Amino acid sequence: MKDLLMGVRDAQRLGPIRAAIEGKITNGKGAELTGLSVRQFKRLKARVHRFGPQGLFHGNRGRVSPRRLALAVREQIVALLQHPQAHLNDCHLRDVLAERGLSVSAETVRLIRRGLGLAPKRRHRPPRHHRRRLRAARCGSMVLIDGSEFAWLGPQHPPFTLVGTLDDATGEPLSLVRRAEEDLHGYTQVLHDLITTWGVPEVLYGDRIGIAVRNGRHWTCTEELEGRQRPTQFGQMLEELGIRYIAANSPEAKGRIERNWQTLQDRLPAEVALHDVHTLEQFDAFLPDFLPRCRAWFGITPREPDAAWRRAPHHLDRILACRYPRVVGRDNVVSIPGYTLQLPPGPFRCSYHRARVEVRELLDGRLLVLHKDRVLLEEPAPAGPFILVPRGSAQADRRPARPSAPRQSVQLSEDRSPGFPAGDRALLAKTPRRPTHEHPWKRRPFKPQPLPQPAG
């Protein structure tokens, strides 16, 4: 047996055993001094008499465990831990190895990492006491929505925003959309992807961002008569879809999606580095493959098996659009800030003068004019990329104007005074008529003429 270092417990037992071998004490006294049974004391006494002090060691001491991690697997773990760009935490590395067919626990990864002298990726804080909200019982009963700005391609690339949704019952990320900032287009796009892939949820849970809720106290006269504030463009979409929106008053209230962002900020840049993703186009193509892996990693079984998803409605593209109620002008023109739309004649060449219509700007850039749920006019999307922004807002004023040639419209004044869109103000403007100097109103002083007297 190899020379091994003796521990404190074995050193304490060696003295009484040697005294019993030399006959100075009895076996019962030695068992009492070592805290062993007489039978076990006799076994150790025989082993020390035969092998010396090394007889106190266990028989497997110094041998390689048959359950020891294979050298090839250990080398893969070390290579991933020492990756120059992908910084994986212990659980993430365990999941990556599981996808490669290697079953390794996170504790094993932690022991190897500590053996290499590597610090953990994130500092673990002691848990704080809080009251946990019970998860929704069914899939699709509640969906959380939020956006997060982060350097998703790594610290050497500029940050951008991801807008995503998370199922409250299972904890699975459902959809992700890349945007330059958290805007209406991103919220509408992620809602479109959610509905087309999974269905219509019952409740949407988010923060009090101005895209979803109105935070101002100003009420218009029409709103005072109706008894409620008119919702935002995104809120009108949710109302038509029958989705109730819950606005959280603090980030902790929607802590599940906040923790999901923290997890994605930890794993997604590492996965991007592992798969050599360096451009935004590659990143957009990588997201659809990354989402199913996240569901396999973090998804849990809901309390009730029946899902609450509803079927996507017909003409979903018409619902996910900005709405602008308008009154048709005398020349059958409808205008929204920036350009005008010429309505075609109706049946039997009837006019739509003074008719109340609704102009909708769809997510793909198309324009629809609706009258009693009937499409009067459909304009194609403009050339190039399109961003859905509410017309009349500061962001809409900064975006490029639509080309006027395909719409066959007249360039109107750029006046954008409050209360009158640019097109309506230009159409309603008339040249004032001034009376001539011979007009009776111009005579000074004005003397009324006497009425003619009847004859006789």
DSSP 8-state code for residue 145: E
User: Residue 444 — pLDDT band, cuts 50, 70, 90?
Assistant: low
Whole-number Å distance between alpha carbons of 153 and 405: 40
Count Cβ atoms below 10 Å from residue 67 Cβ, excluding itself. 5
298-357: pLDDT as tens digits: 999 999 999 999 999 999 999 999 999 999 999 999 998 877 899 999 888 899 999 999
pTM confidence score: 0.67
Pairing of strands 142-150, 160-167: antiparallel
Stronger pLDDT, 2 or 385, i.e. the higher one: 385
Half-sphere exposure of 103 (CA within 13 A, CB side): 1
- Name the average pLDDT for the chain: 86
How many other CB atoms are there within 10 angstroms of residue 451's CB atom?
A: 6
Express as a percent the part of the chain with pLDDT over 90. 62
d(CA 51, CA 397): 92
434 falls in which pLDDT band (50, 70, 90)?
confident
The closest alpha carbon to 273, from 263, 286, 260, 261, belongs to: 286
Average the pLDDT over 65-73 and give the result. 85
Give the model confidence (pLDDT) of 174-214 as tens digits.
Answer: 999 999 999 999 999 999 999 999 999 999 999 999 999 99
* pLDDT score for 133: 82
> Cis before residue 53, ω within 30 degrees of 0?
no
Residues 6+ apart with CB under 8 A from 167: 139, 140, 142, 143, 144, 174
Q: Which amino acid is present at 410?
A: V
The residue that leads in pLDDT, 379 or 441, is 379
Report CA dihedral (424, 213, 398, 429) to the nearest 10 degrees. Answer: 10
Distance CA 268, CA 377 (A): 44
Q: Which residues pair with 323 in a beta bridge?
A: 360
Q: 445's torsion region: left (phi>0), alpha (psi -120 to 50) or beta?
A: beta
pLDDT recorded at residue 132? 74
First to last CA, the chain: 158
pLDDT at 406: 41
CA distances from 215 to 146, 234, 246, 247 (A): 17, 14, 14, 11
Q: What pLDDT, in 10s, does the model give residues 112-159?
A: 999 999 988 887 777 777 677 889 999 999 999 999 999 999 999 999
Question: Over 60: is that where the pLDDT of 52 sits?
Answer: yes
Give me the residue label for tokens 């493959």. Answer: 289
Model confidence at 423: pLDDT above 80: no
Q: Give the pLDDT score at 441.
A: 67
80 has a pLDDT exceeding 60? yes
pLDDT of residue 392: 76
Give the helix ranges, DSSP H, for 52-122: 71-81, 90-99, 106-115
CA distance 316 to 388: 16
C-alpha dihedral, 149 to 153 to 156 to 159, nearest 10°: -20
Least confident of 107-116, 354-363, 441-450: 441-450
- Residue 428 pLDDT more than 60? no
The pLDDT value recorded for residue 449 is: 61
